[in-house]
Amino acid sequence: MSLAFVFPGQGSQAVGMGADLAQAFAAAREVFQEVDDALNQKLSKLMWEGPEEDLTLTENAQPALMAVSLAVTRTLEKEFGIGVDRAAFVAGHSLGEYSALAAAGSISLSDTARLLRLRGQAMQRAVPVGEGSMASLIGKQTDVALAEAAAAAGAEIGVCVVANDNNTGNVVISGAKAAVERAIEKAEELGARAIRLNVSAPFHCPLMQPAADEMAAALAGATVLAPRAPLVANVTARPVHDPEVIRRQLVEQVTGRVRWRETMDWLAGEGGVTRFAEAGAGKVLSGMIKRSCPDATATPLNSPADLEGFAKSL
């Protein structure tokens, strides 16, 4: 068995996430306290009690999701003796890439929390509310080629690109509002169904360049070490171990495509991964993995029972 830990991105947050881990494990409580201290905010109280609209704010959701993921991996290590270095690779969806790097010891937990707070704020600042849009194109025949054709139609009147290639049947486009609307019309002509996403900014498109510039400055001053397990990066869908390359690719990721389908294809193919463990809130990635890699197993890890069952299975 070859194992990869994967880490969820924005959209997996929910009020109450991580509360049962904190009740059950001292290691999880330590993670939540360290994140609270790093941000000088009772983020854990917001995570467990809401209100939901505050938790959903990008600047809160990003560090909060990372905190749950790290509570899972720290608990696995301290309570069950299962470190991230047991995995052949790590990967994360968008902000989950930071969670993966923190879990693998590449960036400290406190630095990761602060970087994600800045990342959320910078993304929000990059484009005025209402000027950008994102849409998920879904359906059996929806693939990246269809999405690129739709985005090209939108790009005739403004910025519009494929932002997330999640899996066949689920591709997200992002850009200027009018351009995305044009792309939706084209996608529907081509047979896809479009769902407009309730997001505060158009992530993973060139409109995010101001946020990428802010992250470049912040990452230049951050300590980045070689991860204990190689990271399969969003922007290349290939493994990376060198700290300077990781630093550069985290900047590129702000405006670049999340190549999640290609990442899963590489892990299950050349990477030889047969088992995926989704460390953190929800089970969105496990669903994507089952569609992309039907021969692999995918296990969500976000409750004490999940962790205990996973530990026994190894």
Catalogue the active-site residues: 94, 204
**236: phi then psi, degrees, rounded to nearest 5:** -120, -20
Q: How many CA atoms lie within 13 A of 268 on its CB side?
A: 20
Residues 109, 34: Cα–Cα separation, whole Å: 8
Length of the chain: 314
Mode of pairing for the β-strands spanning 275-279 and 3-7: parallel
Q: How far is Cα 57 from Cα 110, in angstroms, rounded to an integer?
A: 20
Q: How far apart are CA 293 and CA 290, in angstroms?
A: 5
- The dihedral over CA atoms of 273, 253, 110, 24, expressed in degrees to the nearest 10, equals -40
Q: What residues have CB less than 8 Å from 189, skipping those under 6 apart?
A: none
**Nearest 10 degrees: CA dihedral of 267, 222, 217, 121?**
80
Residue that is written with structure tokens 């991230």 in the block = 84
H/E stretch holding 290: helix 284-292
Determine phi and psi for 41, rounding to 5 degrees.
-155, 145
Is residue 119 within 8 A of residue 255, CB to CB? The reply is: no
Distant-in-sequence, close-in-space partners of 120: CB < 8 Å, separation ≥ 6: 57, 58, 59, 60, 61, 62, 63
Helix (H/G/I), strand (E/B), else coil: 31: helix
